[in-house]
Amino acid sequence: MRRLNGLAGVAVVAVALSSTVSSQSRSAARAVVYENARLIVGDGSAAIEAGALVVQDGRITAVGRKGDVSVPANAAHVDLSGRTVMPAMIDVHVHIGYEGYTRWGADNYTAQNVLDHLQREAFYGVAATQSVGSSPTDPSIQFQRDQEAGKFPPASRFLFMPGMAPPGGGPDAVLLKGTTALHAVYEVSTPEAARAAVQEMAAKNLKSVKIWVDDRRGTYPKMTPEVYAAIIDEAHRHQMKVHAHATTLPDQKAVVRAGVDVLVHTVQGEKLDDEFLALLREKKPYWTTVIGLGDRTEICDHDPFVDQTLPASVVQAIRATTEPRPLAPNCGPRSPNFAAREETLANNVSKMVSNGARLVLGTDAGIHPGYTFGSADHHEIARWVQFGVSPMEAIVAATSRPADLMGLNDMGSLAPGKRADFIVLNANPLDDIRNSRRIANVYLRGAKLDREALVAKWKKGSKT
């Protein structure tokens, strides 16, 4: 095995963060009760009308109907009448660190830029964000330690997993340049090398690994079934999960049959067949649609929800591109096969769900220039609902289910003992999923995020 993961990434990421950043703010010891809001717990149970959510020391201590919940006598009261509270979301699939909003690439990959992207996710109500197969291992472990130690300002919790691919394979041409520069992908060509790499990851206490099974229409070396079988077996021996990038029906069948835990992507080029649907019913893989990347679309459609976090120059540059987009009539021509693609996608998404694939939120944000973090999560869940997923199921798939997948036992729902990570909305997303965008406030570990200060920073085009 050519071992690519190593020190090079450390130097890239070891850019000094401002020494003046405040430690992660936590709520004070005094309890706070958020009352009179509709509470969407996140586990699929019916919403609690006129609820009470008690938070102390950054954790939820009680949740239920107001009057049924015992509230500490000295608690502060916050009236949220007319509002809806849902858990903050968890995005299990992004590519963090490369986007610079003026240029894109490995040169941008610093701890400071990782933090900026995590702040963007937090701004839009995402409490944990997982970078998949494109973040260098050792610097990422260090970043996680620093974040848990409170060295950074409030932001989405950083999670990551390494990638594995045959030499010269894996990420598409744009991302490959970046991951190669950062040595973010373990290159393996034999089952033995694959097992050794997984063992190395397990020794670092990593919980997941991504594989690419894709020949990019015959232009790339593709991981062989023997290699991914070895990866899956070795990962499962170490209680690790395997996420598989596969975009065609034959490849999705093969990796599900081989036992991957998470399918990444949705087959878009053909309709799913009965053989695959039977496999889904048998194996019930987790599945991230990553059909969104919709923020550029919405920039073209002049959606202020997306524009608000970007410098005007970036918004203009995105609008000015003429590349055909399937969903963006206001931004270049629509691709000619738009209607057929949409029909296939609608068919495949609903069949995946009804045959037992366990939908979880993943967006691919950051994979190419000009796709912004956080807003893409709202786009993704709205697309699901457009394809027949109920708003309640969409919220489960964006909150408690990804927490279960990633073993984040103290995140993902409004329940006693969980981190107090929640979104206060001005309208009910169960009525219309696009109401997830009507964010009044985001709380992370019980502390209100200063969203205005973040917007001010981003509109200036500044990162600090």
Name the minimum Å distance from CB 381 to Zn ion.
17
CB-based closest residue to Zn ion = 364
Site for Zn ion in 306-365 (CB under 5 A): 364
Nearest partner of 351 among 277, 278, 283, judged by Cα: 277
Structure tokens, 157: 């919790």
Structure tokens, 165: 């691919």
Beta strands (DSSP E) in 338-444 are 358-360, 422-425, 439-444
* Residue 295 or 364 having the CB closest to Zn ion: 364
Name the minimum Å distance from CB 363 to Zn ion.
9
Q: In a 3-state reduction of DSSP, which class is residue 417?
A: coil
* Residue 214 or 364 having the CB closest to Zn ion: 364
Name the minimum Å distance from CB 263 to Zn ion.
12
Q: What is the distance of C-alpha 233 from the center of its chain? A: 26
The C-alpha atoms of residue 81 and residue 31 are separated, in whole angstroms, by: 19
Q: What is the distance of C-alpha 309 from the center of its chain? A: 18
End-to-end CA distance of the chain: 39
* Residue 35 or 364 having the CB closest to Zn ion: 364
Name the minimum Å distance from CB 179 to Zn ion.
11
Name the minimum Å distance from CB 76 to Zn ion.
42
In contact, 389 and 430? CB cutoff 8 Å? no
The answer for residues whose C-beta is within 8 angstroms of residue 42's C-beta and 6 or more apart is 86, 87, 395, 396, 399, 400, 412, 413, 414
The C-alpha atoms of residue 237 and residue 241 are separated, in whole angstroms, by: 10
The answer for residues whose C-beta is within 8 angstroms of residue 426's C-beta and 6 or more apart is 82, 83, 435, 438, 439, 440
Site size toward Zn ion (CB under 5 A) is 1
* Residue 364 or 377 having the CB closest to Zn ion: 364
- Residue located via tokens 């169960």: 430
* Residue 99 or 364 having the CB closest to Zn ion: 364
How far, CA to CA in Å, does 328 sit from each of 78, 292, 324?
41, 12, 8
Site for Zn ion in 355-384 (CB under 5 A): 364
Name the minimum Å distance from CB 130 to Zn ion.
10
In contact, 350 and 387? CB cutoff 8 Å? yes
* Residue 94 or 127 having the CB closest to Zn ion: 94
In contact, 143 and 129? CB cutoff 8 Å? no
Name the minimum Å distance from CB 246 to Zn ion.
12
Name the minimum Å distance from CB 290 to Zn ion.
6
* Side-by-side strand order, sheet with 157-161: 89-94, 126-132, 157-161
Site for Zn ion in 266-295 (CB under 5 A): none
* Residue 94 or 381 having the CB closest to Zn ion: 94
* Residue 261 or 364 having the CB closest to Zn ion: 364
* Residue 91 or 364 having the CB closest to Zn ion: 364
Name the minimum Å distance from CB 364 to Zn ion.
4
For binding to Zn ion (CB under 5 A), which residues are involved? 364
